A = this chain, B = another copy of it.
Amino acid sequence: MTIRTTVWGENVHEKKSKIVAELYPKGMHNAIADFLNHAEEIEASSVTLQDPEHGLTADKLASTDVLIWWGHAAHGEVSDEIVERVADNVYGGMGLIVLHSGHFSKIFKKLMGAPCNLTWREAGERERLWVTSRQHPIARGLPDHFELEQEEMYGEPFGVPEPLETVFVSWFQGGEIFRSGLTYRRGAGSVFYFRPGHEAYPTYYDDNVQIVLTNAVRWAHNPAERTLNVHDAPNIVVEEALEPITARGPKLHEDGEEGYR
């Protein structure tokens, strides 16, 4: 079984910043797709903000099992229509992995229903990620903790809903902590937020980060057929009730009509 994975990259800093361009000469999205393609059963491709429809056409999403999202400088340039399209695919069963600064992306804020804010500092300080759910599928093969020698700090309170599970919590040299790996389900879609990944540092070349993301792709994959019409709210008429009933009392709706939205 192949897990068709699409890495969405904003691809802005790679062009504007010499630091990022040198670190990720093919772009962060391709760096991520590259190591995923070394994993068994995963087949990863990448698209960017600059592609037509940001690379997220209806066809592309329909053939994407897991979407990975990295954005930062250009959240506002992502079209609302495409955000809705991505959300509908998540509700229908597409997995979604949101990375780092993607906490402020339109798609993540929409799915969370919350501000998704935090505190931050770019000082190249040490981050140490601790596993809080030992042997969670996303933590498989990891030690109880691992370090990233240079990362941007994100601090709590992190304005997200209580997750299904907290998989990682980060320690920062400057004194903060952050819930770094959080799982959610939205409709049939599994959602994972993973904190590390500042574009000025070589985070996506780190072995443990690559293990986390490879695990996360497998975890987020829902092999069931994609559910369509994810907003449907069908009227079940009396004659089709599973147990025989007779309509009674006052009535505002006609049988089989569409409800109000």
Question: Is the CB of A179 closer than 8 A to any CB of chain B?
Answer: yes
Q: Does A52 contact B (CB under 8 A)?
A: no
Inter-subunit contact B187/A159 (CB<8 Å): yes
Q: Are B162 and A169 within 8 A (Cβ)?
A: no
User: Which of B157, B245, B249 interacts with A134 by CB under 8 Å?
Assistant: B157
Chain B residues, Cβ within 8 Å of A124: 247-251
Asked if residues B248 and A135 are in contact (CB atoms below 8 Å), the reply is no
**Closest B residue by C-beta to A114:** B186
Q: Is the CB of B260 within 8 A of A104?
A: yes
**Contact A176–B130 (Cβ < 8 Å):** yes
Q: A113-B110, A174-B243 are in contact. Are A179 and B123 (CB under 8 A)?
A: no
Whether A153 is near chain B, meaning CB under 8 Å from some CB there, is: yes
Are A166 and B162 in contact (CB-based, < 8 A)?
yes
**Nearest 4 interchain pairs by C-beta:** A124-B249, A175-B242, A135-B188, A174-B241
Residue positions of A touching B, CB distance < 8 A: 13, 17, 19-20, 72-76, 91, 93, 101, 104, 110-115, 117-125, 128, 130-137, 140-141, 144-145, 150, 153, 155-159, 161-162, 164-166, 169-177, 179, 184-188, 199-201, 222-224, 227, 230-238, 241-243, 245-253, 259-261
Known contacts A119-B236, A200-B252, then 6 further A-B pairs from the complex at CB < 8 Å, ordered by chain A residue: A101-B259, A123-B241, A130-B155, A134-B157, A134-B227, A164-B165
